[in-house]
Amino acid sequence: MHDSRLFNIYHKKSMGNLHLKLYGFFAGFAASLVGETLQEHHKECNRLFIDTRGISQVDPFGIFVLHEFMSRFPEIARRVYFKGSKGEVLAVDEQRVLKFRKRAGCGCSGKCKECGCAKKPDSLKTAVENF
């Protein structure tokens, strides 16, 4: 048996969409909580995003409970988009999984002055010019 305190779910609505962020151990309790949250908010939202990047571990029973929910509520399931690699495990066949590439450097997109990321494009440009 797993302690429910080992799982947290945060949600927000943005631009007509619902965003869920999952953290911790994904088991039956977690799947039930995700289902309840989707049921509670799906009517006023277009797309339903579930961010799985904070999940530490996935229990097979949690997958079973979530898939049962998705099969009982196909009108909700069709609008679900998973984010992160754990989404591949949690998604049912017709659902989409959005994957993220790892960022190089600090993740600042090269705009901060102190970061080594900002210097890379210039050094690359110089190398290309000298070629």
pLDDT in tens, 88-107: 999 998 789 998 776 655 66
Question: Mean pLDDT across the stretch 9-25?
Answer: 96
The gap between the terminal CA atoms of the chain, to the nearest Å, is 63
Looking at the structure, do residues 85 and 131 belong to the same domain, yes or no? Answer: no
Q: How many separate helices (H) and strands (E) can be counted in the chain?
A: 5, 5
pLDDT at position 104 is 57
- Tell me 91's DSSP state: -
* Total residues found in the chain within this entry: 131
Give pLDDT tens digits for 113-131: 666 565 555 544 444 444 3
Contacts of 94 (CB under 8 A, 6+ apart): 77, 78
Looking at the structure, do residues 58 and 110 belong to the same domain, yes or no? Answer: no
Looking at the structure, do residues 19 and 50 belong to the same domain, yes or no? Answer: yes
Q: What is the spatial distance between Cα 121 and Cα 123, in angstroms, rounded to a whole number?
A: 6
Looking at the structure, do residues 78 and 124 belong to the same domain, yes or no? Answer: no
Domain extent at residue 17: 4-100
Looking at the structure, do residues 70 and 121 belong to the same domain, yes or no? Answer: no
Number of separate domains in the chain: 2
Give pLDDT tens digits for 27-82: 999 999 999 999 999 999 999 999 999 999 999 999 999 999 999 999 999 999 99
Looking at the structure, do residues 81 and 110 belong to the same domain, yes or no? Answer: no
> What residues pair up with 10 in beta bridges, in sequence order?
21
Looking at the structure, do residues 49 and 69 belong to the same domain, yes or no? Answer: yes
**Could you tell me which residue, 117 or 14, shows the higher pLDDT?**
14
